[in-house]
Amino acid sequence: MQPINEMKLEFVSKSSNEAFARVVAAAFVSQMDPTLEELADVKTAVSEAVTNAIIHGYENRYGTIMMICRQYDNSVEIEVTDEGKGIEDIEQAMQPLFTSKPDMERSGMGFTVMESFMDKIEVKSTPGLGTTIVLYKKFGNQN
Amino acid sequence: MIFEELDIVAFCAPLQWAAVVHLEETLLNIKFSSRGSTLIAAFTGELDHHFAEYARNKIEGELLKATTRNVIFDFTNLSFMDSSGIGVIVGRYANIRKLGGRVGIICKNQRICHILEISGIVKLIPVYESLDFALNALISA
């Protein structure tokens, strides 16, 4: 299926860009006339995905993060990609409360929050090459 | 610079954009007050990974003051929180409990409450609807 609209954003792995990325994603999605709730769902999930890339993908080192947003009829697909460390065991990483960084006060709830606020998420990762998280959200579900 | 540019975008864009493009609203601020030995940390803005360390340091600084025993996290005016906030709360909870204090959270924002619920933190820390409820519960216990 061809998207109706698409955008691509590249930014460095600075934590201040977490807010920037979620605000940009929300601005793109707002063209689809979402409810404020749906908009906040997208912001929360994007924030988790970008934080994941910064902390786990690049381990707070310099790197580039790419975010692609694609709009379909009544849904959006948001891809967040890093070229960092990658995830060895995706299934384990997605378990609630699992964290590889308990010393940094990470809750291990990132993927659970993304799953909870989006309709579907996909994680593709190759150790040593990087990770892509794809977030899907359909609008107008509550009607 | 970037803030100014985005504000111009917000000005030209449809009304609903105004809700999403003010980056300066994403800044976190914590104001402290106290009632007896209970410290109230009132959050405004957005609590994410970027501001987690700032929040941690600010609260730890206040906890060093000898009068503090209990802590209330007041999220009434917090507009955004992701799972980074959970780490901040759990970390402080552990330290406060070690010193025999109690912890409460005030939350009205549905999304933030939902994050607190799925993380299981509500099993450790009671969540209240208002400061009065929280203070009554902490003081009477």
ipTM of the complex: 0.92
Domain count along chain A: 1
Q: Which of B16, B83, B114 sits opposite A30 (nearest CB)?
A: B16
Instruction: Find the residue in A nearest to B84 (Cα).
Output: A106
In a domain, A143, yes or no: no
Average pLDDT over residues A51-74: 96
Contact present, A99 and B86 (Cβ < 8 Å): no
pTM: 0.89
Q: Look-up: residue for tokens 């209970």?
A: B38
CATH at A56:
3.30.565.10
Neighboring chain A residues of B23 at a CB cutoff of 8 Å: 19-20, 23
Q: How confident is the model at residue B99 (pLDDT cuts 50, 70, 90)?
A: confident
Neighboring chain B residues of A54 at a CB cutoff of 8 Å: 49
In a domain, A77, yes or no: yes
Give the CA count within 13 Å in the CB-facing half-sphere of A121.
Answer: 22
Average pLDDT over residues B22-40: 87
| Domain that includes residue A61, residue range | 5-138
Contact present, A96 and B117 (Cβ < 8 Å): no
Q: By the CB < 8 Å criterion, does A110 face chain B?
A: yes
Q: By the CB < 8 Å criterion, does A19 face chain B?
A: yes
Neighboring chain A residues of B9 at a CB cutoff of 8 Å: 27
In a domain, A38, yes or no: yes
E strand or H helix at B128, and its extent? Answer: strand B127-128
Q: By the CB < 8 Å criterion, does A107 face chain B?
A: yes
In a domain, A11, yes or no: yes
Q: Is B20 helix (H, G, I), strand (E, B) or coil?
A: coil
Q: By the CB < 8 Å criterion, does B95 face chain A?
A: no
Residue A103: what pLDDT? 81
Nearest to B96 by CA among B52, B138, B140, B44: B138
Residue A30: what pLDDT? 94
C-alpha to C-alpha distance for B108 and A43, rounded to whole angstroms: 18
Q: Is residue A60 annotated as part of the catalytic site, yes or no? A: no
Residue B26: what pLDDT? 74
